Amino acid sequence: MKNLKLKAARAEKDLSQADLAEKVGVSRQTISAIEKGDYNPTINLCIRICKVLERTLDELFWVE
Amino acid sequence: MYNAGRMFGMIFGVLIGLVIAVIVLRFVNKNKKMTAEYDEMQKLVRGRGYMYAFYTVLIFEALMCVLSMGVELPAEQGVIHFVAIIIGVTLHACYCIWHNAYVGLNMNLKRYVIIMAVVSAFNLWVAFTAWREGELFSDGMFRAQTINLLCGLMFAVIGVVGLVKMIIGREEDA
């Protein structure tokens, strides 16, 4: 399932996939895979992404 | 005496290869470190790649073991085992490249492709020289020099897959 909330939060911060990837210490392809729903990140990576985007885990990763 | 000389030659060749690999790794890695750094998704994919390569090598070796009991294979023993290594390495590398897990966070794919092309060309040139002198295939058997041909083909395949992935990556970035 695509993670559109992450994509929107990243766009709001005006960050490219490469920018976010660099800030959280992963490859651009990993961010792309998370947004496409091809990869489920570990809780540690989720927390790092949340900190950079200043969002909570629920806001970005909770599936309704 | 001939075998001892040949063995020392091979050991010397491997040592030279290791020295070149160290220099190449420092050149390929952006931060001049010897080891590649991978993120969590890349580590996961690489693990899957190792698994596929392991089972492929296992099946190939078992098949060759059974075949060699019934028929005389048209290659020296060392060459047959080397084919297994080549298949395993090529499979792992191509799988990882295709799933964005071959090039680490501190590596540069473009530099990697260039090195693959150079190493491939060198090995193919050595194999061509051996073929011209009739040392590649003689008495109905593929000789040890076939290893250079196999290495050349392996690096060429890895380089081409890397190049294709690089082009696809550029289109995605654009």
CA distance A30 to chain B (A): 6
Contact predicate B41/A39, CB 8 Å: yes
Rounded mean pLDDT of chain B? 87
Query: Domain for residue B25, yes or no?
Result: no
Contact predicate B37/B105, CB 8 Å: yes
> Could you tell me if A35 lies within 8 Å of chain B, comparing CB atoms?
no
Percent pLDDT > 70 in chain B is 97
Per-residue pLDDT averaged across B139-153, rounded? 89
Q: H-type helices in A1-64, by residue range?
A: 4-12, 17-24, 28-36, 43-53, 57-61
Domains of chain A, with CATH numbers?
A: 4-55 (1.10.260.40)
CA distance A25 to chain B (A): 7
pLDDT of residue B19: 84
Rg over alpha carbons for chain B, rounded to the nearest Å, is 18
Query: pLDDT tens digit string along A8-47?
Result: 999 999 999 999 999 999 999 999 999 999 999 999 999 9
Query: Domain for residue B161, yes or no?
Result: yes
Q: Indicate if the pLDDT at residue A54 is higher than 90.
A: yes
The CA distance from B53 to B102, in Å, is 14
pLDDT of residue B1: 46
pLDDT tier for residue B15 given thresholds of 50, 70 and 90: confident
Name the domain count of chain B: 1
Query: Domain for residue B7, yes or no?
Result: no
Query: Domain for residue B5, yes or no?
Result: no
* B13/B49: higher pLDDT: B49
Query: Domain for residue B9, yes or no?
Result: no
The CA distance from B44 to A39, in Å, is 10
Candidates B41, B169, B172; nearest CB to A30: B41
Contact predicate B31/B54, CB 8 Å: no
Question: Model ipTM?
Answer: 0.89
For B54, the domain range is 36-173
